[in-house]
Structure formats: structure tokens, C-alpha cells
């Protein structure tokens, strides 16, 4: 079969699938939301980076990465499990959402305190850094309101959150530009970060009250809380490990290098390297409820749906990687200027870590459906350990280049190498391998057979 026939076959299979069409429609809103954010965010962030310069921009991103280490805990691994709970209907929707909200608020308050105390111990003399961490940590409490996103994902109502987030992006971008015009400082920038979370959280709550189809009473249920936490601790740990090998590089760069300018340059590269993540993430989010429903109704269709998800995510990632690799120097030069020129070479390395990161994210849905989420902790632990080890070895001599290499290698180890060693999840490794060969589309899979 030649390339033209392959393309025609792929198009036919997609258009003939009602589920595929629904996923594409829902993904369209998510992609539109993130594309809008990217177009605004990339240019506004570039203006901010130029305004602050590598040193101050590096200090801000060091604080942001430090807070991210605690944010992984604050979500309590509830996202996928809460979506599943809403779909399973073992508990009513109001109970699921209210309990999740309370748990996230408690976690956010506790972790804000821990983050603030920790930064004072690590950097005792940097008062400005303490303030940045405290302000951005408070966003963990505010983001508890984003439990409404779980309801949106369950019912594939992405239009709601997309409109809210696009509005928040516009307001936030305006405030950031005002910061530059009126010569604000890093504390003002951190406040804008927190304010953005407030706008989105309030907007989601208002949207839920207006769009819910059944008026469930919101109440906290201790029984459900215990049940969900008993299942989520694997995801909490894996979330922490994911954050470790996604963010620890910036934290270690800031701690191991004499100034924060290396963090600023590295952060500029990472900003561009990750700007395309919204596309595969939107597809993963849209596929998630479809795959969970297929698991309960038709095993063959369920497996086919997972395989198609992996294939789409893999090739979208490769396409973006090639594009960024070709134009890395041009992109960095236009956006950040000569002060950040070193970021172009770092970007050429960092861009490929995203391919394996997105494959790992897609795999988490399959692991939850199979009740094998405990393995996710092992996978990301292997990635975190390898990343930290490689950072220790490479950063002192290679700086940002070493951090980029460490992240790429650790993503490959966590999402491709380690899973192959476990019999129960080896079939998932086979599906990942097949994704690189376009196996699902070439063999005329139909994800809507049930």
C-alpha cells in the first residue's frame, strides 16, 4: 500500500467513526483554547523575559519550578480517578466534586506552608525569593476550584473551560504588558500568576452552576474521601516524580550554578519546547472518557481506541519536534533576543523529551483502566532518579545543555525502557512501539465498533 492510499485509509477510518468525530470536536475546543494561550503567552512571556533579563527571569522561573514540586502533591492524583468516579456513578456528582474540592483545599494550605518553610531553609538570605514562593504557592489553594474541570472532562464539555481560560489569558496578558509599561517587579509578576488562577477558578464555578443538568447537593463524604485517596496515592507519587524530572532541572540549575541567569536561558528554551504540548494533551483528555467507557462495553474496541490514541500522540509529537529543530535559532532570536541566544541549542535537545513525555501521559489512562496505576509510580521513579543523577553529573560542566540531556534521557527511560521489564504492562510497550509504525491506521482499526 503506497503513501497516498495509507492517507486515504486513515482519513476514511476517522470520518466513519462517531467516537473519533466526537473526540475531534471536543479536542478542537481544547486545542483552540491552548493555541490561543500559546499565541498570547509565548509573545508576552518573551516580552517579560527581555524586560527582566536572564538573571531576574531565571529567579522567577526558579521560584516557579520550586513551587511546582509541591503542586504535584496538591492535586492529590484526583484528576483521572474523579473523572472515572463521575462516569461510574457509584457516588453522586455533587459528592464527588465537593469531596475533591475539600481535599484539594486542605492539601493546598498544607503544602503552601511546607513550600514557604522549605525555601527559607534552602535560600535563607534571599527575601525576594521567599515572597515569590509564598505568593505562587497560594495558587495551589485557589486552584482547588479547578475540580470543575473533572466534570467538564467527564462530559466532554470543553467549550466551557476553553472560553473561560481564553478570557483569563487576555486579562492576564494585559496585566503583564502593564507590568512592563509601568516598570513593575517580580513580585507583581507573581501576583498576576495567582490572580490568573482566581479568575479561572471563579469562572469555572459560575459555569458549572449554569450548565449542570442535575442539581446535586454538594456535600463532603468521608467514605468517598477514604476510597479515592486509597487509590490515588500511586498517582500522587507518580505526579511528584513526573514533576521532579520535568522541573527539578531548573531547581538544580538554580542551586548548582553561581547565578540564576543559566536558569533564565534554560527556561526560555523550555518555554518554547513545551508550547506545543497542548495539542496532544487536548487529544488525551478527549480520549480519556471514551476509552473508559469502551473498557466497560467492548474490549476489542477499547484496545483499538488506546492504540489510535498512542499513534496520534506519537506522530503529532514527532512533527512538532522536527519543526522546532529546524527553526530553533530563528524562534529564539525573534522571541528572546541575543541575550538568550544559547537557548536555541538547548531547545534542539529539549524538544525531543516532549515526545516521550506525551506517550507517558497517554499511557496513564490505560494504566488506570487496567487497575495498574501502581506501576506508573515505578516508571516515573526511574525517570526521576535518572534525571537527578544525570543532572548532578552533567550540570557542573555543561550547565543548561546538561540539564536538557538529562531530561531527554530520563523521559525515554521512564516511558519506554522501564515498562518493558514488567510482564503485566509489556503489552502497553508493544502498543507504544506500534504507534511509531502507524500500525493502528494501516490495519484499518475502527474505534467505534461497539
Q: Distances in Å between the alpha carbon of 80 and those of 38, 217, 365, 368?
A: 25, 22, 7, 8
DSSP string, 230-265: HHHHHHHHHHHHHHHHHHHHHHHHHHHSSSSHHHHH
- Contact status, residue 278 vs residue 38, Cβ threshold 8 Å: yes
216 Cβ contact list (under 8 Å, min separation 6): 92, 93, 94, 95
Helix 400-412 and helix 261-273: axis angle, to 10°? 40
Cell 462517531 found at: 18
Cell numbers for 333, please give them.
532570536
Count the neighbouring beta carbons within 10 Å of the beta carbon of residue 308. Answer: 28
User: How distant is the alpha carbon of residue 307 from its chain centre?
Assistant: 21
Cα(422)–Cα(432) distance, rounded to whole angstroms? 15
Q: How many CA atoms lie within 13 A of 97 on its CB side?
A: 24
What is the SS3 assignment for 178-213? HHHHCCCCHHHHHHHHHHHHHHHHHHHHHHHHHHCC
Q: Tell me whether residue 50 is exposed, middle or buried, using C-beta atoms within 10 angstroms of its C-beta: 0 to 12, 13 to 18, 19 or more.
A: middle
Q: Distances in Å between the alpha carbon of 105 and those of 40, 110, 178, 226?
A: 30, 9, 31, 16
DSSP string, 338-404: GGGTTHHHHHHHHTTHHHHHHHHHHHHHHHHHTT-THHHHHHHHHHHHHHHHHHHHHHHHHTHHHHH
Q: CA 450, 78, 415 angle in degrees (round to 5)?
A: 70
Backbone angles phi, psi at 298, to 5 degrees: -155, 110
pLDDT at residue 14, as a whole number: 47
Cell numbers for 190, please give them.
507573581
Q: CA 242, 267, 237 angle in degrees (round to 5)?
A: 10
pLDDT at residue 283, as a whole number: 82
281 Cβ contact list (under 8 Å, min separation 6): 30, 34, 358, 361
71 Cβ contact list (under 8 Å, min separation 6): 111, 140, 143, 243
368 Cβ contact list (under 8 Å, min separation 6): 80, 81, 84, 292
Task: Dihedral sign for Cα 147, 148, 153, 155, please.
Answer: positive
pLDDT at residue 294, as a whole number: 79
Cα(40)–Cα(48) distance, rounded to whole angstroms? 12
- Residue pLDDT tens, the chain, 450 long: 555 555 455 455 544 555 555 555 555 555 666 677 777 777 888 899 999 998 899 999 899 988 988 887 777 777 777 777 777 777 788 888 888 889 889 988 999 999 999 999 988 888 899 999 999 999 999 998 988 888 887 776 777 877 888 888 889 999 999 999 999 999 999 999 999 999 999 999 898 888 887 777 888 888 888 887 777 776 676 666 666 666 788 888 888 887 788 888 998 888 888 877 777 877 887 787 778 877 777 778 888 888 888 888 888 889 988 998 899 888 898 888 888 888 899 999 989 988 888 888 888 888 888 888 778 778 878 888 898 999 999 999 998 899 999 999 988 998 888 988 888 888 888 888 888 886 555 554 443 433
Cα(375)–Cα(429) distance, rounded to whole angstroms? 13
Closest by alpha carbon to 367, among 281, 284, 436? 284
Amino acid at each position: 500500500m503506497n503513501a497516498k492510499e495509507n492517507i486515504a485509509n486513515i482519513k476514511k477510518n476517522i470520518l466513519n467513526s462517531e467516537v473519533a468525530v466526537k473526540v475531534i470536536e471536543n479536542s478542537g475546543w481544547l486545542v483552540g483554547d491552548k493555541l490561543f494561550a500559546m499565541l498570547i503567552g509565548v509573545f508576552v512571556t518573551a516580552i517579560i523575559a527581555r524586560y527582566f533579563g536572564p538573571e531576574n527571569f531565571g529567579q522567577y522561573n526558579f521560584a516557579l519550578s520550586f513551587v511546582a514540586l509541591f503542586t504535584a502533591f496538591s492535586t492529590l492524583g484526583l484528576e483521572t480517578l474523579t473523572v472515572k468516579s463521575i462516569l461510574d456513578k457509584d457516588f453522586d456528582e455533587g459528592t464527588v466534586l465537593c469531596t475533591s474540592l475539600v481535599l484539594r483545599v486542605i492539601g493546598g494550605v498544607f503544602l503552601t506552608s511546607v513550600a514557604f518553610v522549605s525555601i527559607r531553609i534552602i535560600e535563607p538570605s534571599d527575601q525576594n525569593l521567599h515572597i515569590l514562593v509564598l505568593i505562587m504557592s497560594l495558587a495551589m489553594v485557589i486552584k482547588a476550584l479547578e475540580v470543575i474541570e473533572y466534570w467538564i472532562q467527564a462530559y466532554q464539555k470543553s467549550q466551557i473551560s476553553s472560553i473561560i481560560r481564553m478570557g483569563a489569558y487576555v486579562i492576564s496578558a494585559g496585566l503583564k504588558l502593564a507590568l512592563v509599561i509601568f516598570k513593575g517587579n517580580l513580585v507583581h509578576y507573581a501576583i498576576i500568576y495567582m490572580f490568573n488562577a482566581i479568575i479561572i477558578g471563579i469562572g469555572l464555578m459560575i459555569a458549572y452552576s449554569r450548565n449542570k443538568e442535575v442539581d446535586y447537593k454538594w456535600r463532603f463524604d468521608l467514605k468517598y474521601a477514604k476510597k479515592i485517596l486509597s487509590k490515588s496515592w500511586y498517582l500522587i507519587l507518580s505526579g511528584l516524580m513526573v514533576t521532579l524530572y520535568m522541573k527539578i532541572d531548573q531547581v538544580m540549575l538554580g542551586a548548582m550554578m553561581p547565578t540564576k541567569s543559566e536558569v533564565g536561558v534554560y527556561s526560555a528554551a523550555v518555554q518554547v519546547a513545551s508550547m506545543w504540548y497542548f495539542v496532544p494533551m487536548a487529544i488525551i483528555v478527549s480520549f480519556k472518557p471514551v476509552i473508559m467507557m469502551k473498557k466497560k462495553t467492548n474490549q476489542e474496541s477499547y484496545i483499538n481506541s488506546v492504540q489510535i490514541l498512542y499513534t496520534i500522540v506519537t506522530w503529532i509529537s514527532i512533527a512538532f519536534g522536527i519543526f522546532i529543530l529546524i527553526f530553533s535559532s530563528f524562534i529564539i532570536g525573534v522571541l528572546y533576543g541575543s541575550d538568550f541566544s544559547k537557548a536555541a541549542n538547548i531547545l534542539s535537545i529539549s524538544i525531543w523529551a516532549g515526545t516521550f513525555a506525551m506517550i507517558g501521559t497517554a499511557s496513564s489512562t490505560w494504566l488506570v483502566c487496567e487497575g495498574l496505576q501502581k506501576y506508573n509510580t515505578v516508571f516515573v521513579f526511574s525517570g526521576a532518579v535518572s534525571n537527578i543523577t544525570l543532572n548532578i553529573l552533567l550540570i557542573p560542566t555543561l550547565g543548561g545543555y546538561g540539564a536538557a540531556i538529562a531530561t531527554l534521557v530520563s523521559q525515554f527511560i521512564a516511558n519506554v525502557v522501564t515498562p518493558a521489564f514488567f510482564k503485566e504492562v509489556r503489552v502497553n510497550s508493544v502498543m507504544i512501539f506500534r504507534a511509531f509504525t502507524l500500525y493502528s491506521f494501516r490495519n484499518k482499526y475502527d474505534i467505534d465498533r461497539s
